[in-house]
Structure 1
């Protein structure tokens, strides 16, 4: 049985940058606070905890004074920076540049459309760290949509500017765009004077480009093992890609969740993961499969 790790899987540059900043800082100090999980992968969070990285939530942030706090790649809303000023916190800002650029675009759109009673709409996961940061640019006036049912929140007689969480599915974004356009057209047909939808594909290309790459990889193997944290939005989207092209795809957080029966009679196994999955963890999964049955890498 041949076991192959997808070399296109693993950290995106934003996550890699944030983890590197945390590790560099932990070489100088014994303990460092991080606002929220630095990455949606419990194994990596535990590894960094052992080095001194302490995860805190927003309520705990309010109680901290005179210390350092790492901002992870997902970015933060303006009130986090206000709290830092008030509590004399030194922020180590590892916000992903792609996310920061999108935050600026969302704020500009919100400021520009307020005069015409416009709506800023974000296609994303309600409560996701990145979405909290994006919505914060609008004073939390943005409308977050995840499913078709959420479209009922929009007023189709008013201007709509649509953005996407950077790690959402490209296919999902364009489906939402199409549905909104249909409702805008219906409002126009009913006599409303409204502008065309202003849709902005703000999905990170490091994420979206992985979909076609992953399709090819999943098709090349009898069985695919997708390694990701269960909290990872990107992981869920990319695992769906694997399942679509290869029904023999399985989702695991770590090697302990492997089922040996998946590999009976199999000649080729592909190991892949999310942009929040460390390469060392995929290697552990590959090693566990090799240990259970004779294999070549």
Structure 2
């Protein structure tokens, strides 16, 4: 049984940058705080914990003084930086440049919308760290939508400016854009009052066609990702639609021998938050299974 890892899978630039910053800082100190999981992958979080990275939540952040805290790639709202100044915290800011640019765009769009009685709408996952950072640019007044029902929060007689969480599905964004256009028309408005901004990271969106091609090249696909990863859920959906013999796992312990019966070729791929070392560990385990499973 042939087993191969998708060369286009694994960390995006933003995640790789954040982890490198964490490792560099831990090389000089025994302990470093991180506001939230540095990456939505339990295995990688555990690896870095062994090196001294301590994950904290917002309540714990408020109790910290005179120490260093890592800001992960997802970015943070303005109030996090204000708290850091009050508590004399040194921030190791590993916010992804793509996310920072989007935060700036959202802030400028919000300021402009205030003069026009408009609304900022963000296509994204409620509660996601990146979305929290984006809505923070609007004083938490942005409307977050994930599906058509969420659009009931929007007043379509007023101007609408749409952005997307950087890791959402491109198809999902354009579907949401179409739904908003239909709602505006039904409310008697015009498309001139609607500004749709495709703010999805191209390093993420470009993986969709690459994954479709990879998925059809193999009998079985094993997609490796943390279950909390928004990007992982979106990309697995792409893979599963292309190849129904696709399976989602967090690590090699979740593999089932039955998945590989009759398979000649197995492809391994993952999210932008999936480390290459973990995909390799899964590949090694599948090789062991392949030696015991009849082709």
Distance 1:151 1:183 in 2: 9
Structure 1 residues 52-99: Cα deviation after superposition (integer angstroms, max 9, x where no partner): 000000000000000000000000000000000000000000000000
- Give the paired residue count: 292
* CA spacing shift, 1:288–1:194, aligned 2, 3 Å: closer
Once the 2 structures are TM-superposed, how far is the Cα of residue 173 of structure 1 from its aligned partner? 0.2
TM-score for both structures, normalised by structure 1: 0.97
Q: Deviations over 1:104-125 (max 9, x none)?
A: 0000000011011100000000
What's the CA shift for 1:195?
3.7
- Contact 2:158 2:193 (8 Å CA) reproduced: no
Query: Who is 2:277 aligned against?
Result: 280
Instruction: Give SS of 1:203's match.
Output: coil
Unaligned runs of 5+ residues in structure 1 are none
RMSD of Structure 2 on Structure 1 (CA): 1.0
State whether residues 118 and 160 of structure 1, in contact with CA within 8 Å, keep that contact through their aligned partners in structure 2.
yes
1:114 and 1:221, CA in 2 relative to 1: closer, same or farther beyond 3 A?
same
TM-score, scaled relative to structure 2? 0.98
1:76-115 matches, within 5 Å, as: 76-115=76-115
| Correspondences of 1:1-150 after superposition (within 5 Å) | 1-150=1-150
Q: Contact conserved, 1:157 with 1:193, CA < 8 A, in 2? A: no
Q: Give the deviation of 1:294 after TM superposition.
A: 2.8
For the Cα contact (< 8 Å) 2:181–2:191, is it kept in 1? no
* 1:253 is the counterpart of 2:250: yes
Does the 8 A contact of 1:68 with 1:92 survive in 2?
yes
In structure 2, the gaps of 5 or more residues are none
Partners of 1:90 and 1:275 in 2: CA distance = 27
Residues 118-141 of structure 1 show CA distances to partners (whole Å, capped at 9, x for unaligned) of 000000000000000000000000
Residue 291 of structure 1, CA deviation: 1.4
Distance, in Å, in 1 between the alignment partners of 2:180 and 2:258 is 45
2:205 aligned with 1:208: yes
* Counterpart mapping for 1:256-275 below 5 A: 256-275=253-272
Q: Does the CA contact (< 8 Å) of 2:6 and 2:214 recur in 1? A: yes
Q: CA deviation at 1:196?
A: 3.1
User: Distance in 2 between the 1:90 and 1:233 partners?
Assistant: 29
Correspondence for 1:226 among 223, 226, 230: 223
Alignment partner of 1:234: what SS? Answer: helix
For residues 59 and 283 of structure 1, the distance between their equivalents in structure 2, rounded to whole angstroms, comes to 37
Corresponding residue number in structure 2 for 1:293: 290
Distance of 2:260 and 2:193 partners within structure 1: 52
Once the two structures are TM-superposed, the CA of residue 197 in structure 1 deviates from its matched residue by: 1.1
The answer on whether the counterparts of 2:156 and 2:183 sit within 8 Å (CA) in structure 1 is yes
